[in-house]
């Protein structure tokens, strides 16, 4: 079993049995695991981040109408299947945050986007592993409050890695 497969197995166990699971009690009765894209090593990237000189504070609306504050940290460029894209990394007191929406949103991925927690590396580089892209908790239960992906992180390309859209009946 790969490290990613082990991680996914543990996450499914958490969702199925842990009291802090985002699933409702009713959802857990029929839960058979999350749906994922197959692992894609080409979407595990070490990226050079162009740090913003002026780190603007932004307030992201949440799904419940609240606001969460983040700082625009920097931007990176990358390619997927020969198509160029760029994303902005944000920072909060909890660390680095990378919300994004891809072109599969609403069909294969959660319509409001998915999240990543990029790992900082030396030299203003980050490990961005799209295989670890996850749905916000509000994708499973509308009682959760989740930041809505900013417009600048809406991609016109597909990211076929990480979690797929959640269908409670599966």
- Return the structure tokens found at 162: 């990480």
Work out how many domains the chain is built from and give that number: 1
145 in any annotated domain: yes
Residue 169 has pLDDT above 80, yes or no: no
- Average pLDDT score over residue span 143-170: 91
Entry pTM? 0.93
170 in any annotated domain: no
Over residues 7-36, the pLDDT tens digits come to: 999 999 999 999 999 999 999 999 999 999
Q: State the Cα–Cα distance between residues 16 and 156, nearest whole angstrom.
A: 33
Q: State the Cα–Cα distance between residues 129 and 43, nearest whole angstrom.
A: 6
Q: Determine the structural domain holding residue 29 and report its residue range.
A: 3-153
165 in any annotated domain: no
114 in any annotated domain: yes
164 in any annotated domain: no
162 in any annotated domain: no
* Cα 6 from chain centre: 19
- Return the structure tokens found at 84: 């160029």
166 in any annotated domain: no
Contact criterion met (CB below 8 Å) for 89 and 73: yes
Residue 61 has pLDDT above 50, yes or no: yes
Q: What percent of the chain has pLDDT over 70?
A: 98
158 in any annotated domain: no
Residue 101 has pLDDT above 60, yes or no: yes
- The secondary structure of residue 34, as a DSSP letter, is -
- CB atoms closer than 10 angstroms to residue 144: 14
Whole-number Cα distances in Å, 57 to 133, 140, 144: 24, 29, 23
């Amino acid at each position: 079993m790969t490290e990613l497969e082990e991680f996914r197995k543990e996450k499914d166990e958490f969702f199925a049995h842990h009291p802090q699971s985002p699933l409702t009690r009713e959802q857990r009765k029929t839960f058979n695991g999350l749906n994922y894209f197959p692992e894609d090593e080409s979407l595990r990237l070490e990226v050079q981040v162009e740090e913003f000189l002026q780190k603007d504070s932004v307030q992201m609306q949440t799904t419940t109408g609240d606001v969460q504050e983040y700082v625009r940290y920097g931007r990176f460029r990358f390619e997927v299947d020969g198509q160029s894209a760029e994303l902005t990394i944000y920072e909060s007191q909890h660390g680095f945050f990378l919300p994004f929406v891809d072109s599969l949103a609403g069909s294969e991925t959660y319509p409001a986007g998915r999240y990543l927690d990029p790992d900082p590396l030396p030299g203003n580089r980050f490990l961005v592993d799209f295989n670890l892209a996850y749905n916000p908790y509000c994708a499973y239960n509308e009682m959760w409050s989740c930041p809505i992906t900013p417009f600048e992180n809406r991609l016109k390309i597909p990211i076929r890695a990480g979690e797929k859209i959640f269908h409670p009946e599966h």
